[in-house]
Homo-oligomer: A and B are copies of this chain.
Amino acid sequence: MRPTVTDLDVSDIRFPTSLEFDGSDAMHPDPDYSAAYVVLRTDAPRVEGHGFCFTIGRGNDVTAAAIRALAPYVVGRPAPHTAAELADLCTSLTHDSQLRWLGPEKGVMHMAAGAVVNAAWDLAAGQAGLPVWEFLAGMTPEELVSLVDFRYLSDVLTPDEALTLLRAAEPGRAERAARLRAEGYPAYTTTPGWLGYSDEKLVQLAKAAVAEGFGQIKLKVGDDLDADIRRLRLAREAVGPDVRIAVDANQRWDVADAVRWMTALAPYGPHWIEEPTSPDDVLGHAAVRAGQPVKVATGEHVANRVMFKQLLQAGAVDFVQIDAARVAGVNENLAVLLLAAKHGVPVCPHAGGVGLCELVQHLAMFDYVAVSGSREDRVIEYVDHLHEHFADPAVVVDGRYRAPEAPGFSARMRPESLAAHRYPDGPVWQAVAQRAQGS
């Protein structure tokens, strides 16, 4: 018996992270890490799919409304479990003839589609008894190609080319999966580098990161050049010459600012400059890459596969940073993995926030097993926030993500965490409101 989806439940879940400046950067000084959290329930006991949009506070209610608007596309239908069914679900959400006006394929409505698609993958992989990375890596090249929406991609990547890429990576899948289970996947940590942290906290956390086995850390930059030089120097002294230090401007600059700033930081050897300018500015990224010596990375705010296509076409990036919860879920991220593989550009996923590490690890591991076939120059972001709220938290040991073993997408938050952090009526937010009244 195939289960039928009976409900799409949405909750507005927020964490008051801004109280400690966790997650603070040059453009987002006060994030409250949040999730518009969706559960697809079925008529079969304990068969559910969980997913979410990640936001940083205000507007999480708008994203929740967008997810609710997608209920008619899933409720009352069989839970998708084949590649063809998961592909159909994805295009029914992204190409709906009326909803597409709200994007097309970008912003709130597109993120909501991603949450529902990812919840469907959690459900399907759970039903198959496999973690999503293995569920994906068990599909044939033909099935994987069928998952991808090639609309607007064919000038750069055709289904035939994608098939050729995936077939070339077929030999060795089992060996790579075994190596992944034994060795994990390299991580880097952003924990030391938030812009709101003191120099002392930066140095202490940078040293701790090295002691924990990380080979790369990341610092937020972009607010004050002198301060950034000082912080980068302190971090370099703390970690020594062999640990990579990436820097991240979170879209703070125009092109000329980015070139000037990174020319000044270049002597301290930053591994990459992340989000130097607007995520929409393909030509701007290309100009930044051409104008200064540090490698360029972007992607966490890149809206869809068409924008990633152009970043690669224009030679604008050295690293592609997929995000599990911004584009239309697993399906569209598979398109981005294929585009990156075709261009030989490493994918180094964005993570952090709430639950992004849990999700995106599956995509990077699948990429290694079945798409790029490589971990070289590849690393998944890690931030040690909020993992305790997940039923199957991401596990990083000795600077490496362990391969998830639990069935599904590691997306499920613990029921007591959901209850505590519901906004605005959960007890955590009631306490914040009371403290604010008292002060």
Contact = CB atoms under 8 A, between A and B. Distances in A.
A254 B330 CA distance: 22
A66 B27 CA distance: 21
A314 interface: yes
A122 to B, nearest CB: 23
B99 A59 contact: yes
A152 B282 contact: no
Interface string A242-285: 00000000010011100000000000000000000111111110
Nearest to A32: B98
Max chain B Cβ within 10 angstroms of own Cβ: one of A107, A153, A287, A303: A107
Contacts of A254: 151-155
Contact of A314 (B103, B110, B251, B283): B283
Contacts of A57: 98
Max chain B Cβ within 10 angstroms of own Cβ: one of A62, A100, A301: A62
A102 B62 contact: yes
B59 A62 contact: no
Interface string A147-167: 000011111000000000000
Contacts of A279: 104
A55 interface: yes
Contacts of A100: 27-28
A249 to B, nearest CB: 13
A166 B101 CA distance: 33
A306 B277 CA distance: 11
Q: How large is the interface on A (under 10, 10 to 19, 20 to 34, 35 or more residues)?
A: 35 or more
Contacts of A434: none
Given A108-B62, A109-B59, A31 B98 contact: yes
A152 B284 contact: yes
A121 to B, nearest CB: 23
B303 A106 contact: yes
A57 B5 CA distance: 25
Contact of A152 (B62, B153, B277): B277
Contacts of A301: 104
Contacts of A155: 254-256, 284, 287
Interface string A51-74: 000011111011101100100000
A166 B384 CA distance: 51
A28 B109 CA distance: 17
Contacts of A58: 69, 96, 98-99
Contacts of A102: 55, 59, 62-63, 107-108, 111
In order of increasing CB-CB distance, the 5 nearest A-B pairs are A107-B107, A108-B108, A57-B98, A155-B255, A58-B98
Interface of A: 27-32, 55-59, 61-63, 65-66, 69, 96-111, 151-155, 251, 254-256, 277-284, 287, 301, 303-304, 306-307, 309-310, 313-314
7 contacts: A59-B101, A62-B66, A102-B107, A104-B278, A152-B280, A154-B254, A154-B255
Given A58-B99, A59-B66, A104-B251, 15 more contacts: A28-B97, A56-B97, A57-B98, A62-B108, A102-B108, A104-B278, A106-B107, A107-B109, A152-B254, A152-B277, A152-B280, A155-B255, A280-B304, A280-B310, A282-B283
